Amino acid sequence: MKIWKKISLGILAVFIVFMGKTLYNAGVFTTIKPHFNGSVSEIGGFTGAEDITIDKAKGIALISSNNFSNASQNGAIYLLNINETAPKPVELTEKLAFDFHPHGISLYRSLDGSKRLFVINHRKNANYVEVFQFTDSTLVHLESIKSSLFVSPNDIVAVSENTFYLTNDHDEELSSWRSKKDLLQIPMGNVCYYDGQRAKIVAAGFLYANGINVSLDGKKLFVATTSGRKIKVFDRDMTTGKLTESDEITINGADNIELDEYGNLWVGCHPKLLSYLAHSKDRTKPSPSEIIKINYQSKGYYTFDSIYLNDGKPVSGSSVGAVFGDKLLIGTVFGNKVLLCTLKK
């Protein structure tokens, strides 16, 4: 009996530690004290604004908008000129010849000044990466890229006119079994690299691989692991695309990652993941939103600053914060508006 009692106590101790770690990773013990040093205005007209990227040469934002609750309703890419006093969204993808449900986006600017927008598209029959030529006011579809490795793609970063990395938040499609594995905190996320001809997995073992981006010089790659409370840092072979993990940054509920003109990371965060999960099922339940700025220098040397934090109002579930000058655009997964914030200098 004594042996079984010890075994039972051991199992109980492991369970308590596991549950404590799970609740900690979910931000249950995180205190929310709303703050922002600046002014905020709201811009409506969206059905979710999950990802935002800004053409820093022009001050034009591109916004990926999709109703994740309604697969029959097409999403859109919107343009928002934040140089204007009262900017209004302009839809750029009304006349596509295929169903369009955008998720992560990435804007690549070539040395000759031409620009391509890469978009993860959850079509009804498969997942694709759609590539568009972008001018200051139009998107022209160039090609659709498909791979069996695009299993559950979330975010994307282009590193040339025809190469990119994308994250699969899971390595299998949605199912009840996958949900159980999530509860057990089994790492299923990965990073896929497309070299212009074929795709391959170059990093794996992430607890919900989410936002992805590269440093301004292209030598570092950053991957947000939302459930794992980390941003993983990789050294990147710019010739082969190979990744070597070199560092990690602890951060609550990281989603998409954008860079400013100085190379700082701006991360949309879900500081309370359980609240976000509740919000994803019931929009009336608020989920705190946070934007964190990270100044990453080298391994072990970085600082971060919480720029914006709310208690779930006026928007819930922030997924991205994109910066241009003193303007900060905040988007959410399920909201019908974005926040245009002016930062005080």
Q: What kind and span of H or E run contains 62?
A: strand 60-65
Which residue in 308, 292, 319 sits closest to 344, CA to CA?
308
- The encoded tokens of residue 18 equal 């596991």
Mind spelling out the 3-state secondary structure of 188-209?
CEEEEEECCCCEEEEEEEECCE
- The encoded tokens of residue 11 equal 């199992």
Q: What are phi and psi of 140, to 5 degrees?
A: -115, 120
Query: Which residues make beta-bridge pairs with 105?
Result: 119
Cβ-count burial 305-335 (b if 16+ within 10 Å, e if not): eebbbbebeebbbbbbbbbbeebbbbbbbbb
CA–CA separation, 30 vs 311, rounded Å?
Answer: 12
Instruction: Judge if the upstream peptide bond of residue 34 is cis by omega within 30 degrees of 0.
Output: no
Direct distance between the N- and C-terminal alpha carbons of the chain, in angstroms, rounded to an integer:
68
Q: Could you confirm whether 103 is annotated as catalytic?
A: yes
Q: Choosing from 35, 101, 103, 279, which is the catalytic residue? A: 103
- The encoded tokens of residue 97 equal 């010849």
Active-site positions read 103
